[in-house]
Structure 1
Amino acid sequence: MGQVHVVGPNRALLISGSGASGKQPRVIVGGRAFVPWIFQRADFLSLELRTIIIESKKSATAYGVMVSVTGVCQVKISGFRESNSGSGSPKLEKDVHAILLAGQHFIGAKKEEIEHSVASTMEGHQRSILGTLTVEELYKDRSAFSARVRELANEDLRLMGMELVSYTIATISDEEGYLDALGISQTESVKKVAQIGESVNRNEGRQRNAEEELKAQLKINEAKKKIEQSNRDVEVMQAKLKEEVNVANARADAAKLFEEAKLKQSIVEEETKQDVVRATVQVDVESEKVRRRRMELDASVRAQAEAELFKKLKEAEGIREFASAEAHRIKLIGEAEAEALRKKELVEVDMLRLKADAYKEYGQAALATRMIETMPEVARAIAAPLAKTEKIVFLGASGGSSSGPSALLSEVTKGAHIVNEGLQAITGVSLGEILKGDSSLNGLERLAMPIALNAVVANQGH
């Protein structure tokens, strides 16, 4: 006969004796087993967590300072352990080796005996680690101390079938007041740091306030700057508008002056044209008068002969004076026109154009007019040699040739022919042909009379 034993997950059943698998006890956790009497034995081990106080009184540190350390550890017999399966997720499997070791050490032992064994082991490791640390290191870094104790104790507890679940330092004390002094020093240091921090915070607060005030002032200054910039932009815009208005007014005034100048120029042009027309008509009238007077003088000379020569000479002198006065008048008119043209550049240009158009329009007539104006100078040039003679004697000639004054007129006529040929060779215009208007007299014969009279008058003056 025997007995059926049922065990929960917090207990381990060790079956030993004949019939066990091999010579090693059979371990059952969270199951049941039939144990026959006489042949087999059943022993139980608790797998529950045990909390043990570890005290190390008056333990020497690295510099010989005696301190008392109280630690708290939690241990248990290792019933299960994690194992990594092929799926990657951890899996719990029964830790048979640890249970057998615990059974070897603790079957039949009381709870207090088991805890005392564990506490003795942990206290030994705790003292050994205290001997390598200073009080300051122990005080400042308890977690490092706990880690070193766990590292050393794990292996020994594993050999006992135990598993160290946790270990922490509960208290550290000494009878000489070293820790209290260290705490005071640390407290004062912390206070000092706190005061420094408070001062720094106060200064930072003041600095932040100053910075905020500075930012506010900068914003105010920036706003004022923008206002001043806006006012300056408005003033610049007003100045530009005023400048544009002034430019527009100046342009309007200039346009007005330009239009007035153009109007005055037009008036001057019309007046000049009228003056030119009047001068042209006057020249034609005077030319006709001269031609008529010369014809009358010619006829009188032929009719009255030598008896009326003196009278004719007087008339010729009057004609010469009249021609000189007329030339002077025309000269004055020309000078006045030149002065007006110098003052008005545009009028001068138009006047030149009008003269060019007049020469182009009248052609040979205009050229003849100019030639007539210069004939008195030609007459004086021809008569200049005669003016140097003291006396002229007229001798008759046979064969019906001219004699006396007639011979003089014949010589003068020849000179006029030579001048006319020269002018015709230069200009292509024959003055004699132009002046042909009377079939009874040749053109050069009408010119010969004034030239002869001029010669006589010049000789008479000497």
Structure 2
Amino acid sequence: MPMIIGVVAGLVLAAIIIVIGLFKLMWRVAEPNEALVISGSRHRTEGIEEGLGFRIVTGRGTFVVPGVQAVRKLSLDLNETELLVDCVTQQGIPLKVRGVVIFKVGDDFVSIANAARRFLDQQKFMGDRVHNVFAGHLRSIVGGLTVEDMIRDREKLTGQTRAASGSEMEKLGLIIDSLQIHEIEDPTGYIKNLAAPHAAAVHRDARIAQAEADRLATEAEQKAAARMSEATRDSEILQAGYQAERDKAAATSRQAGPLSEAAAKQEVVVQETRVAELEAQRREQQLQVDVRKPADAKAYEKRTLAEAERDVRISAAQAKAKETELAAIAEANRVKIAAAAQAEMTKVSGLAQAAATRATGEAEAAATQARGLAEAEAAKAKGLAEAASIQARAEALATNQEAVVAQQLAENWPEIVKAGASAFGNVEHMVLLNGADGMSDMFAKALTMGGTGLGLARQLLASMGTENGAGTVPPPASPNGSTPRSHLIPLQDDDKA
């Protein structure tokens, strides 16, 4: 019995060991950084519509039937590949772009399935595939950029490269964790020449800054030297002052004896002066008692009497002034009232006179207006009469010129004779050779000058008629048919001679 129990126990233990061994043989666990790809049976994978023919397990354990199913591991670790790509820019400048790409297999089942199909047994070549993908896209992108764009905006180059490679990396089941452009090599020296102006400007600014710093340092050193000189001067001045005080103290100590003797003599003189002053004060007080006090009393008495008399006179003057002031005020009120009455009377009189003046002015204006109208009417009538007379004379002149001229001469005959006789007005002595006949002839000539004027008028009218084409006007004939007397001027004896 014990033997049977031992055999059974051994069998059970062996079965347990076998079961444990089989479990360990069939159980597979995926590490956090790997995925188990189990093939050998048709399975449906999450995120994939149709079965893949393999199963993907991540982060957990699963049973695998040995001999029926095969288990392989796909690493989910990070990978990196160096980029060294020869490119040509848009300007035709050859460049070498250095960079690094950090990538890994995606964590989702689709990415793991894509990566498993492509890299399951070739994971060591994954970096070369990624390098080729990025090199092609990098050459294409650099060909559309200039060197200046790449230098100033490397992030743009990186972003465009990642965007262009993203779809292909997704097909490979890979994701890009990082893409960095480390360096852009320029074998032609274009970048160096491009940076030369900026480097020169920086060098210039550095030299200017260094020169400015040197200037400031020199100024600071000069100021420090000046302050040192000032401190030295102050120290020397203080030392000289201390030396002078020491010399003065030594001289004072040497002169202590004579000075003490002189001070003693000075004290004696001071005491004697003080005694003399006290004696003078005593005498002054005695004079005050004996002379000044009685004199002050008499002066005070006289001053008091004078002030009383002055007050009396001031009171009388004030009373007189008050009386005068009241009289002046009364007189001023009276004058003011009289002036106001006179002003009112003058005002009333002025108003009345102004009214009378205004009435007189209005009457005179009306009379002047009426007189002006009458004069205007008279002038108008006179002008019309003169115009009518002129028109009548013109008509008469046009029809009978000789009659008009004769009438004018007849109207003005006295003035004509007077004008002819005025020739003798300035004659003081006249000598007549033919006696009374000469006198008669002379007066006859003066009286017949009017006839001469008539003949001249006729000749003038005749000339006017000739110019106007009216014919010649014949000279007037005398009543007996002979020449008028105005044309017969007798000759004097002197003329005959």
TM range (shorter): 0.3 to 0.5
Larger relative contact order (CA 8 Å, sep ≥ 6):
1
Q: TM-score, normalised by structure 2?
A: 0.38
Q: As a proportion of its length, which structure holds more strand?
A: 1
